[in-house]
Chain A
C-alpha cells in the first residue's frame, strides 16, 4: 500500500517512461523504459520519504522457448527483462524495477542488447552488472569496466541465455 504515493510521484515525473505498474504481484513492480532508468533510479535514491539507498540485486531473466511447440502456447514474444531489487535502510521499503529489452540489439543475432548502467547511482551495481553481462549477455552502457566476473575472460557465450549451448571443449577439457 505504501508504494502508491510512489507510483503517482513517478508517473507525474516520468510520464510515458513508466510503462506498467503491478501492485498485485507478490513483490510490487514498476516497469520503466531504458531511457528513463537512470533518472528513475537517481530519483528513488534521493527522494525524501522513499530513499532507496540500497540496490540489493540486479538480475536478467531471459524469456525464450527454444521448443517451437511451447513457444506457440505462450502469450509473450521472446525478450529479456532486467530486474532491479531495491530496498531502503532509512524507510525499510522495498521495490522491484523492471526494464524490458529485446534479446538481440536491432534483432541481429550475436549483437548484445544494451541498457544504461546504474553503477553511478549505487556502487553495488558495478559487480552485479558485470555478473549479469557475464551470465546473461546484456551490455550495460556507461559501465566503467564491463568484463566477465565469474566465467574466464576467454569464455564464449552467456550461459543463462536460454539458447546457450555448452561448449564441447575448453582448453582441452571435455565439456560433455
Chain B
C-alpha cells in the first residue's frame, strides 16, 4: 500500500501557509521604554510594517504653558525627558534668556556646563543599561544604575531633588553649588573613569551583543537627516553635527574655551577620531569596532553614546576647574512675574537624546502667548517605521532601544 498523501512530510510543508498577522506590542511592554505601542504587521517572523501609536503619556504641557509664567513652567520641562531633566531646564532657560536678551555671569555658565554634562552622563548610563536589558542582559543595567545613583546623590545635594530638579532656571540657577560639592564631584569622576572600561567589556565587545546589534537597523546619513534625527542617532550615521559646536552663539559660548571632541565616525573610513584625552595617565584606547558593524547601525548608535560619556567627563573636569577659578555669583533667577516682550524666539540645545528645541511667543504679558517644545525623541522615533520594514521580529527591541527614546518627551 502506498502511503496516503498527507503522511508525506513534503506535502505538509507545502500545505502550511502563513497568514499576515497584526501583533500589538505595548503599551505595557518592557522593551518599549515607557508607554509606546507598536502595531506590527508580520508574516511569520518577518515584520513588513510597523506603526507606532503615541500619546499615552500626553499631559498637555504646551497648553499648560499658556497659563503659567516662564519660571512657573520650568517644572513641566523636568517631566518631559525625565532622565535628563537638567538638560530640559537648560533648554527652556536659554530660550527665555534669548528672548529677554539676558546675559549670564561667567560663573553661572561654568555651573551650567558642570550640571548639564553630569546630566548627560546619567542619561547615557540609563540608555546603556536599558539597552542591555532590551537584549536580555540584566547585568549592565545594574552597573549603569549604580553609577547613575551616585550622580543623583550629587544632584540631590545641589538642589534637593533626585529626578525633577528645576535647578537651572531662566536667569541662572536657583542656588549655588554647596560647599565641597566640586570635590565630591571630582572624586566621583575619578572613580567613574575606572568603571568605563568595565562597562565596555559588558556590552560593547560582547559577542552576543555585537551579533544582536551590528549590521541591524542600518540608517544612512541621508535618511537620518530627512527624518530629523539628531544627537547620537544622527552622529551614529556619520554626520558631524553637534550643537555644542554648531549651535547658536548663545549656546556655544557656554562651551567657549573647552576642549572636547564631537563623537562621530568618519563616513569614508568608518573610524572614530583618535582620542587625545589623557585617561589613567595614558590615552584612552577605544575598543575596536567589530567586523560586522556597519556605519549607522544599532551598534554604532550605542557606541557613540559610550564615547560621549568620556567627553562629558572631560568637560566636567574642565568646567570645575574654571568654576573654581572664577568669582561672582550663579546668576539671579528672573522674577516669577517677569513680563515677556511681544516677540518670539526659538532655540535648540544638544540634550542627551538629540536637539531639544523650545519656541516661545510673548505678547507683553508675564504669561506667554504660546509655548512649544520640539522633542528630539519625537523625531528620532518617527524613523522606526521605515527602519523596521522587512526585519525579524526579534530585532524590533534592538532597533527601538538603540534610538533611546523617552516617552515623556515624545508625548509631552
Contact A89 B361 (CB under 8 A): no
Query: Interface code B61-105, partner A: CB below 8 Å = 1, 0 otherwise?
Result: 011001000000000000000000000000000000011000000
User: Is B226 an interface residue when CB atoms closer than 8 A count as contact?
Assistant: yes
Please name the residue on chain B nearest to A87 by beta carbon: B348
A89 touches B239 (CB 8 A): yes
**Across the two chains, which residue of chain A brings its CB closest to B246?**
A92
Say which residue of B58, B246, B346, B355 sits within 8 Å of A151 (CB atoms). Answer: B58
* Chain A residues, CB < 8 A from B99: 26
Best-surrounded residue of B225, B241, B357 (most CB of chain A within 10 A): B225
The answer to whether the Cβ of B323 comes within 8 Å of any Cβ in the partner chain is: no
Nearest A residue to B228 via CB reads: A124
| Pair B346/A61 contact, Cβ less than 8 Å | no
**Contact, CB under 8 Å: B348 / A152:** no
* Chain B residues near A85 (CB-CB < 8 A): 346, 357, 359, 374
Tell me if A108 counts as interface (CB < 8 A to partner B): no
Residues on the B chain within 8 Å of A62, using CB: 370
Sorting the interface of chain A by its residue count into under 10, 10 to 19, 20 to 34 or 35 or more gives 20 to 34
The secondary structure that dominates the B interface is: mixed
Interface residues of B in 337-375 (CB under 8 A from A): 343-346, 348, 355, 357, 359, 361, 369-370, 372, 374
Task: Give Cα A174–Cα B18 distance, bound, in whole angstroms.
Answer: 45
B55 adjacent to A124 (CB under 8 Å): no
In the complex, the answer to whether A56 meets B241 with C-beta atoms within 8 Å is: no
B244 to chain A, nearest CB (A): 13
Q: Which of B66, B99, B370, B378 has the most CB of A within 10 A?
A: B370
Given A57-B346, A150-B411, A126-B382 contact (CB < 8 Å)? yes
Q: Does A122 contact B (CB under 8 A)?
A: yes
Name A27's contact: one of B58, B241, B346, B374 (CB within 8 Å). B346
Asked if A44 is at the interface (CB within 8 A of a chain B CB), the reply is: no
Q: Determine whether the beta carbon of B54 is less than 8 Å from that of A56.
A: no
* Distance from A156 Cβ to chain B, minimum over Cβ atoms (Å): 15
Q: How far is the CA of A61 from the CA of B239 in the complex (A)?
A: 32
Give the residues from 10 to 24 in chain A that come closer than 8 angstroms, CB to CB, to chain B.
Answer: none
Let me know if A149 and B54 touch, CB within 8 A. yes
Residues of A with C-beta under 8 A to B378 = 127, 131
Q: How far is the CA of A152 from the CA of B54 in the complex (A)?
A: 9
Distance from A84 Cβ to chain B, minimum over Cβ atoms (Å) = 11
Q: Contact between B369 and A61 (Cβ–Cβ < 8 Å)?
A: yes
Q: Which residues of chain A have C-beta atoms less than 8 A from B355's C-beta?
A: 56
Contact A89 B345 (CB under 8 A): no
B residues 216-273 touching A (CB-CB < 8 Å): 225-228, 239, 241, 246, 248
Find the B residue at minimum CB distance from A24.
B343
Q: Which residue of B lies closest to A57 (CB)?
A: B374
- Look across to chain A and name the residue whose beta carbon is closest to the beta carbon of B241: A89
Which residue on chain A has the smallest CB distance to residue B355?
A: A56
* Given A89-B225, A122-B226, A151-B58, A27-B382 contact (CB < 8 Å): no
B58 to chain A, nearest CB (A): 5
**Nearest chain A CB to B64 CB, angstrom units:** 11
Using A126-B382, A151-B58 as known contacts, say yes or no to A57 and B372 having CB atoms under 8 A apart: yes
How far apart are A90's CB and chain B's nearest CB, in angstroms? 9
Q: Tell whether, in the assembled complex, residue A150 and residue B58 are in contact, meaning their CB atoms are under 8 Å apart.
A: yes
Top 7 closest pairs, chain A to chain B, by CB: A124-B228, A57-B374, A150-B55, A127-B382, A150-B58, A26-B345, A123-B226
Chain B residues with CB under 8 Å of chain A are 54-55, 58, 60, 62-63, 66, 98-99, 225-228, 239, 241, 246, 248, 343-346, 348, 355, 357, 359, 361, 369-370, 372, 374, 378-379, 382, 386, 411-412
A-B contact pairs, 8 of them (CB 8 A): A26-B99, A26-B345, A27-B344, A56-B355, A85-B374, A122-B228, A123-B227, A123-B228
Given A89-B241, A149-B55, A160-B63, 12 more A-B residue pairs with CB atoms under 8 Å apart are A53-B226, A56-B357, A56-B374, A57-B359, A62-B370, A85-B357, A122-B226, A124-B226, A124-B228, A124-B379, A149-B54, A159-B63
